[in-house]
Amino acid sequence: MTALLSVQDLVVDYGKIRALKGLGLEVAEGELVAVIGSNGAGKTTLMRTISSLLRPTSGSITFEGKDLVSVPAHEVVRRGIAHVPEGRRVFAQQSVRDNLLLGAFLPLRAGKKAQVEEDLERMYTTFPRLRERQDQLAGTLSGGEQQMLAIARALVSRPKLLLLDEPSMGLAPVIIDEVFRLIERLKASRATTILLVEQLAFRALEVADRAYVIEQGHIRTSGPAKEMLANPDVQRAYLGAVTAH
Ligand code: ATP
């Protein structure tokens, strides 16, 4: 497997707190890889470090074979990595359309207006509700619609790698169904490679090709998602809890 993203021996500290303790994982082009784990395991820290929002104490991250650790966050975006952070942050005081245009900042700056219009059209086809609400302020959308907008904004930049941090967070179960149907469609289109971090282990394993279980800053186990669903240790530690959701 040639890795699109490769993370090795990653150590990340918040002052005296060691959040990642030598973590490694790989994502190949076209894959949907899930990282599952409970509260505080280090999932968000991993995503923020890949995006260069946090600097690791040691270890390496490479994307398309090139180092990412010493690269500033805006350059990570330019290289083709889009991050949808936990808590679906949208620009509440901006319209839906303007939020999408913010995602298209790089092609707009490069004068590719026609490409951006085409990409917005593609997003409106994928997310018809965003088309209906394109002039509405993003802050007035429902939680589920805001999550869709946050994902659409990331996709407008045509990323090679999409980092999705807990897309289910704070959403009602029917909306979570909708978000996961969308993730499934993105996977089927193979337009972007996806690294998905989720506490809802069952949901994540159902859509993923492969998965890693992260526990207290370490990878405890990894494998094909279907095998993980059948793994008694994973079932006991993560899937039992999920049925309560
Ligand atoms: P959750 O699913 O609850 O979001 P997580 O797996 O994403 O959890 P992280 O947010 O990455 O976990 O946190 C990993 C560890 O680092 C936790 O022990 C957490 O308390 C600690 N941590 C996270 N952010 C900070 C911070 N800014 N300062 C100090 N410690 C932090």
Residue 176 has a CB neighbour count (10 Å cut-off) of 19
* Confidence (pLDDT) at 241: 46
* Confidence (pLDDT) at 144: 87
Beta pairing partners, 8? 60
User: Which residue, among 21, 18, 2, 19, has the nearest Cα to 10 in the 3D structure?
Assistant: 21
What is the C-alpha to C-alpha distance for residues 68 and 53, in angstroms, rounded to an integer?
A: 11
DSSP count for the chain of H helices, then E strands: 12, 10
b/e sequence 67-76, b meaning 16+ C-beta within 10 Å: ebbebeeeeb
CA end-to-end distance (rounded Å), the chain: 35
Residue 112 has a CB neighbour count (10 Å cut-off) of 14
For the CA of 86, the nearest atom of ligand 1: 4
CA 97 vs CA 58, 121, 123, 162: distances in Å = 40, 11, 10, 20
Counting ligand 1 atoms within 8 A of each CB, the residue from 17, 18, 163, 203 with the most, and so the one to mutate, is 17
Ligand 1 binding pocket (C-beta < 6 A) is: 14, 17, 19, 37, 39-45, 199
The model scores a pTM over 0.85? yes
* Confidence (pLDDT) at 236: 82
Radius of gyration of the chain (CA): 18
pLDDT in tens, the chain (245 residues): 679 999 999 999 999 999 999 999 999 999 999 999 988 999 999 999 999 999 999 999 999 999 999 999 999 999 999 999 988 789 999 999 999 999 888 888 888 899 889 989 988 988 888 999 999 999 999 888 899 999 999 998 889 999 999 999 888 888 888 889 989 988 988 789 999 999 899 999 999 999 999 999 999 999 999 999 998 888 888 877 444 44
Q: Which residue has the tokens 């245009």?
A: 101
- The residue whose C-alpha atom lies closest to atom 8 belonging to ligand 1 is 40
Residue 160: half-sphere exposure toward Cβ, Cα within 13 Å:
14
Tell how far the Cα of 70 is from the centroid of ligand 1, in angstroms. 22
User: Which residue, among 245, 198, 216, has the nearest Cα to 17 in the 3D structure?
Assistant: 216
What the chain holds in terms of domains, given with CATH numbers, is: 3-239 (3.40.50.300)
